[in-house]
Amino acid sequence: MSTSTAHPAGQLIGKVLFGYEMPVERGKIREFAAATGATDPIYQGPNPPVPPTFLATSMHWEPQDPPLATRLGLNLGKVLQGGQEYTFLGALPRAGDVLYAQTSVESVTEKHSSRGGAMTVIVVLTCFAGPDGRAIAEGRATVIERGPS
């Protein structure tokens, strides 16, 4: 595994690609909990915390001009989702909170499989902060772009 600057995303490591606000809405928490089968009654209350994977919905708040895939120079016909993880740095955000997100490229690596295929692995980091600037959570998305066959 090696760090790559050959892929266009390699030039973006550590640079903030965009920032945005994400209001945490009670109804959306309830809908997300129902859609994911979370049955804990806490998600139905007046001031519910977010379910642990709720921050995946932040993609609906990202600026789309241009879309993230375009900014990263990805060929969508060759892209696979490699994983998504969230780390909370304190209490879970709750309904009524407003999160301030900044998205950057954390790393770009090239791997070669035993079958001879090359792929580029891009880790996109989104840091979520509260209105006071205090870090609340981090989300990491791993994107895999397959190389030429």
* Residue 65 CA to its chain's centroid (Å): 17
Beta bridge partners of 22: 99
For the chain, which domains are there?
8-146 (3.10.129.10)
* Residue-level pLDDT, tens digit, the chain, 149 residues: 445 557 878 787 888 989 999 999 999 999 999 999 999 999 999 999 999 899 999 999 999 888 888 888 888 888 989 999 999 998 999 999 999 999 999 999 988 877 768 889 999 999 999 989 999 999 999 999 888 76
| Helix or strand holding residue 70 (H, E) | helix 68-72
| Helix or strand holding residue 72 (H, E) | helix 68-72
